[in-house]
Structures are given as C-alpha cells and as structure tokens.
C-alpha cells in the first residue's frame, strides 16, 4: 500500500489551500452534504445561467480527501453545462470505484489524482461526498444529502 | 497537564513490571501476530472491539465440534451438555461481577440490547409523561437513543448532566438534576470517547438517597476494572462480550432480582414461557423470562471463557498495567506539539482521544494503518461529546493489557509520518 497513491501532491496542495472555498454573496442553488461515518459536512453553492454553471464554491469541514476532491471539483465544473457536470460525475465515480478500463483517466485531467482512493475502499465516500452534494444542488434538493 | 500530574515513575522501567509478562500474554492472542502493510500489527482499537485469547476461540470451537444442541429443550445428551455449558457461562459471569444470583444475569446481544431492554420493559411499564430520566453528556449513543425512543412513546423527559473541559461530570449539577420527577439515572461507567472513569459509587449513593434507581453502562468498564454490583449497589448494569475479550453478539444485563421480577417481558417467544394458550401465556421465571428464542449459545460459552481468562490474570493487575500504558502513551503523544488530547479527566482508563492540528482524524487513521497501527477515527458513537469539544471527530487509541510500549512508539512514529505527508 502506497500512501503517495492516495495523498498525491495535488491532493495535499488542494487540502492545504482549497480553491473556491467560500460562501458566495449570490448563488442560485445550494445543497448540504453529510457523511455520518466521519462527520464530514460540505455545502456546495452554484450559480447557473442558461443551463451553464457560471460559478461554484464550497464550504465545510472534512478530511484531506474530501476537501481536495471538492476543491478539484469546483475547478472542473465551472463553465460546464448541467449535463456535462453530471456526465463528469459519472466518469469520476467510475474512477473512484475501480473500473479502471471503463474510464479515461487522462480525460479527467487533474481530477484523476483523486482516483488513488480506489485502493482504499473505506475512503471512497470521502471523495464522492462533494459530487453527491453537487448533484443535489443541480437537482435543487432542499434536504441535506448523505453518502449513506 | 493530565499525565504530568500523576507521573511519578520513570517511563520505561515503570511499564516493565516484574509480575506482568506481556509477551506471555501476547502469545495467548493469535490475531496479534501478523503484519499489516509490512509492519507488525499494533492493535490500538480495543475500545471498539477487543481481540480473543486462544482459550475463548477454543471454547467456542469445542462447543461447535462436540456439544451443540438447543438449550433447555431436550432430554438427549447434547442438549444437556449445551445447557450445562451455557448455564456454566452464566455462573462465571455472576461470580465475575459478584451478583447475588444467576437469576439476575440476563444474556442479551450486547450492552445496547441491555439498555433497550430496560428502557422498553422497565421504562415503558413504569414511566409516564412528566417523568424524567437523567443521563450524561458523555454517553455512547446506545445510552441516549433508547431513552429517546421511550420519550417518544411515553412523554418522559431526558435530562443531561453536563461535563467540564477535562471531560469530567459536573457533579454540582447532579444534585439539581436528580429531583422528585426523576425515575432513573443511567450513566456510563467509563467513557469510550474520553476514557473518563466516572465516580459511579458517588452517583449511585446520591440517586438512592432520593429513591432513584441507577443503570450503569459498563461496556468499557468490564475489561478494565473490577466490578462488584453488590458493593456498587447499582440496579442495572450492561456489558458487551466483545469489549471484554469475548465474542460479538453476546452481552449481559444485570438487574436486581426484585426489579427484574416486577418487569414485563421484553420480547415474546419460546424459552420465555411456561405455558401458552390462546387466551394467555404464563411467563417463565428469571432469567428466562427475558431470553426469548434460541439464544447465542456459543457466544455465552465464549464469554464465560473470556471471564475465566480475565479472572486468571486478575483485573487488578490488568488495571495497573494498563494505567502504566496510559501514562506512557499520554507522555509520548503530548510530546507531539501539534497534538491535543481530548479528555483529560483525573481518573482515566487506557483510552486517549486526540486531534492533530491541520490533519483530519480520518486521514490519520489511514496513514497510521499504512504502518500497521489500528486506531479508531470518527465520532465514536458519541456525537454530543464531539459537539461539546467543538470537533467533528477525533482519533482514538485504546489500549488493552496485551499492548506494549513498543506499539505506542509505533503509533507516535506513524503520527509523525502523517504530519510529514499532510502538513
């Protein structure tokens, strides 16, 4: 087991200095995510204009994997259409849960760094929490989502 | 602050106690002898579940291979053997906690079921809206949620004894909280999240002076300290087999006979009846009234063997050795400047909850595991405790009498690795 597979430099960097880590003054949609196993809580805020995500940010507390994953997600999703964002989650989910052949890691760009959790099944939910929360925000669900 | 105050012996020599041969004890626990991720396993998650000695494994296996049949039901030889072994376990447990009678020892699935049994049988039959149950801030969820369910059913009110920043009960608040509406005080003996050993005898005396019965959650206490239910004079006491070197899925509810006799059954079914017809059934005598259905026979036998094992070593020696481990570990962890211990009670069992600045407990758990060290990370089923200390989670190292100072060193080294990786 290689820790550096999980804690790649890019993960450590995004955990230390998470991007888009703020509550925006204006947003159109938001959702809360909660992982009851570890107590991680995330809030994802979206501005959506004409079916396109024009701004995305997050707040909350979590482990390095969950914070870095959320930070990387906000960078990747900004500018995408809602459909593109949902499709990206599908690719990320495949990358997280280990179907290595089914996903083109290169196409994921920086997000590929998070795929190291494949070797650590107990940590997959840390990486996917932000994406579930994003999906809930896209769906404009009012209630908190859970990884359970 | 906590360790320094009672650290009077030099560290290494203090642990190498002459009458406690930890290497010999370790040989009794097969699971300890393996490598995890290329490092010797350091199992420091005993408060979540402890490991089984060979004698427990053998007792369960012998039963499965030679004696299994249903208990209290057959006239054939195997049924008699199974019954003898099952009831033999009950007698061992009675002696272990010095209960007056075997009828006061109810086999349950674990401490959780024991508390649910008391809530649903004792609580539901005796309590009503306006009555109060007193618990503490440091309870495990298993001593919170059963009472909340009872509150929904009956309208009883749950009141909570606060704790201090050290993680000790605010005893001044107890006198105010125990009043004429209080129907039960239910308190954890040793906190799984903080390690605090509560002054249960004082609490019991306070409650009894007002005519209030007391339930003790002794899931963590049973493996660390000698329990004498008659000396404590507690009314109910809950234990879990797997926290005291026995199997999972078996535990004990102790209750004073007079209370148990007056309580309605918890579940209905076979074993708990003397006669059944469609008009009414006659309930069995204690303890069978509370043991509906075919029980966890092998679990009970394994728990009996675990009690034998603990008795052979002696709880007093175990407590002394574990206290030395606690002191060593406290000093070792306090020497890491970024580390903060959560729970610094003056009376503590060998449990250390901690946080490290800038490193989330979940990451700590994964990183120390990569060096073979098993610790718990999370809220430890005590979310109100986490909320009180303002943390979402902690890391927790909990020590058993088979742990060594070398394993504590391995933990400290692995924590340094975590700091190196993430800071």
Beta bridge partners of B276: B281
- B412 Cα to chain A: minimum distance (Å): 17
Alpha helices, DSSP H, located in chain A: 3-6, 9-16, 64-77, 82-97, 105-108, 124-139
Q: What CATH number does the domain containing A63 carry?
A: 3.90.1010.10
Q: Which residue of B has its CA nearest to A1?
A: B37
Alpha helices, DSSP H, located in B63-143: 77-97, 111-117, 124-126
Rounded to the nearest integer, the mean pLDDT of chain A is: 89
pLDDT of residue B11: 42
Cα B341 versus chain centre, distance:
21
Q: What is the pTM of this model?
A: 0.92
On whether any CB of chain B is under 8 Å from the CB of A37, the answer is yes
- Residue A70 falls inside a structural domain: yes
Q: Cβ–Cβ of A62/B386 closer than 8 Å?
A: no
Contact B414, B373 (CB under 8 A): yes
A118-122, B57-61, B207-211, B384-388, range with the lowest pLDDT: A118-122
How do residues B44-66 score in pLDDT, each as one tens digit?
999 999 999 999 999 999 999 99
Nearest to B367 among A3, A41, A122 (CB): A3
- Residue A98 falls inside a structural domain: yes
B87 burial via Cβ count (<10 Å: 0-12, 13-18, 19+)? middle
- Residue A135 falls inside a structural domain: yes
Q: Residue B258 and residue B240: Cα distance in Å, rounded?
A: 23
Domain total of chain A: 1
- Residue A145 falls inside a structural domain: no
CA nearest B297: which of B62, B63, B102? B63
Nearest to A123 among B366, B417, B421 (CB): B366
- A23 Cα to chain B: minimum distance (Å): 20
Nearest to A39 among B363, B379, B421 (CB): B379
pLDDT of residue B271: 81
| Total beta-carbon pairs less than 8 A apart between chain A and chain B | 52
On whether any CB of chain A is under 8 Å from the CB of B110, the answer is no
- Residue A126 falls inside a structural domain: yes
Q: Residue B264 and residue B292: Cα distance in Å, rounded?
A: 13
Say yes or no to pLDDT of A1 above 70. Answer: no
Find the domain containing A71 and state its range: 3-139
pLDDT more than 90, % of chain B: 88
User: Measured between alpha carbons, how far is residue B49 from residues A37, A122, B209, B327 in Å?
Assistant: 17, 18, 36, 22
Contacts of B19 (CB under 8 A, 6+ apart): B317
- B379 Cα to chain A: minimum distance (Å): 7
Beta bridge partners of B348: B196
- Residue A90 falls inside a structural domain: yes
pLDDT of residue A146: 58
Enumerate domains of chain B plus CATH numbers.
Answer: 2-52+315-422 (3.90.1150.10), 56-312 (3.40.640.10)
Question: Who wins on pLDDT, A145 or A98?
Answer: A98
Helices then strands, each counted (H, E), chain A = 6, 4
- Residue A146 falls inside a structural domain: no
How do residues B213-260 score in pLDDT, each as one tens digit?
999 999 999 999 999 999 999 999 999 999 999 999 999 999 999 999
- Residue A68 falls inside a structural domain: yes
């Amino acid at each position: 087991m290689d820790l550096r597979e999980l804690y790649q430099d890019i993960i450590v960097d995004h955990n230390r200095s998470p991007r888009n880590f703020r509550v925006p003054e204006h947003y159109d949609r938001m959702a809360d995510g909660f992982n009851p196993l570890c107590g991680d809580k995330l809030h994802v805020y979206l501005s959506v204009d004409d079916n396109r995500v024009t701004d995305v940010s997050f707040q909350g507390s979590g482990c390095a994997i969950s914070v870095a994953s959320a930070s990387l997600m906000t960078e990747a999703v900004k500018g995408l259409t809602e459909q593109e964002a949902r499709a990206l989650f599908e690719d990320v989910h495949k990358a997280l849960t280990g179907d290595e052949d089914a996903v083109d890691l290169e196409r994921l760009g920086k997000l590929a760094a998070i795929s190291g959790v494949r070797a650590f099944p107990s940590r997959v939910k840390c990486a996917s929490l932000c994406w579930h929360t994003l999906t809930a925000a896209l769906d404009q669900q009012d209630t908190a989502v859970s990884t359970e | 602050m906590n360790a320094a105050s009672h650290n009077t012996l030099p560290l290494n020599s203090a642990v190498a106690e002459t009458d406690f041969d930890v290497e010999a004890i370790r040989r009794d626990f097969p699971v300890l002898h393996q490598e995890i991720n290329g490092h010797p396993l350091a199992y420091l998650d005993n408060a979540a579940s402890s490991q089984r000695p060979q004698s427990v494994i053998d007792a369960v296996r012998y039963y499965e291979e030679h004696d299994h049949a249903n208990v209290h039901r057959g006239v054939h030889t195997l049924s008699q053997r199974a019954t003898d072994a099952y009831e033999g376990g009950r007698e061992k447990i009675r002696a272990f906690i010095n209960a007056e009678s075997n009828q006061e020892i109810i086999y349950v699935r674990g401490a959780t079921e024991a508390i649910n049994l008391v809530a649903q049988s004792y609580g539901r039959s005796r309590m009503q809206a306006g009555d109060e149950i007193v618990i503490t801030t440091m309870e495990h969820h298993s001593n919170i949620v059963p009472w909340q369910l009872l509150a929904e059913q009956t309208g009883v009110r749950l009141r909570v004894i606060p704790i201090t920043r050290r993680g000790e009960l605010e005893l001044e608040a107890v006198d105010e909280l125990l009043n004429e509406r209080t129907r039960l005080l239910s308190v954890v003996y040793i906190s799984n999240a903080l390690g605090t050993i509560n002054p249960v005898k004082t609490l019991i005396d306070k409650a009894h002076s007002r005519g209030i019965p007391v339930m003790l959650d002794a899931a963590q206490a049973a493996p660390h300290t000698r329990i004498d239910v008659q000396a404590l004079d507690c009314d109910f006491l809950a234990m879990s087999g797997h926290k005291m070197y026995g199997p999972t899925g078996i535990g004990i509810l102790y209750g004073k006979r007079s209370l148990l006799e007056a309580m309605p059954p918890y579940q209905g079914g076979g074993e708990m009846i003397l006669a059944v017809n469609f008009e009414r059934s006659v309930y069995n005598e204690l303890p069978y009234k509370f043991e509906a259905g075919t029980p966890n026979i092998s679990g009970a036998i394994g728990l009996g063997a675990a009690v034998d094992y603990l008795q052979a070593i002696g709880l007093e020696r175990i407590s002394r050795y574990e206290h030395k481990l606690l002191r060593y570990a406290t000093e070792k962890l306090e020497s890491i400047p970024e580390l903060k211990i959560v729970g610094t009670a003056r009376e503590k069992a060998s449990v250390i909850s901690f946080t490290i600045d800038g490193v989330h407990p979940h990451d700590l758990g994964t990183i120390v595991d990569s060096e073979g060290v098993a610790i718990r990370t999370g809220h430890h089923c005590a979310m109100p405790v986490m909320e009180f200390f303002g943390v979402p989670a902690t890391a927790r190292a909990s020590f058993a009498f088979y742990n060594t100072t070398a394993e504590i060193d391995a933990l400290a080294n692995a924590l340094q690795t975590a700091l190196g990786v993430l800071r």
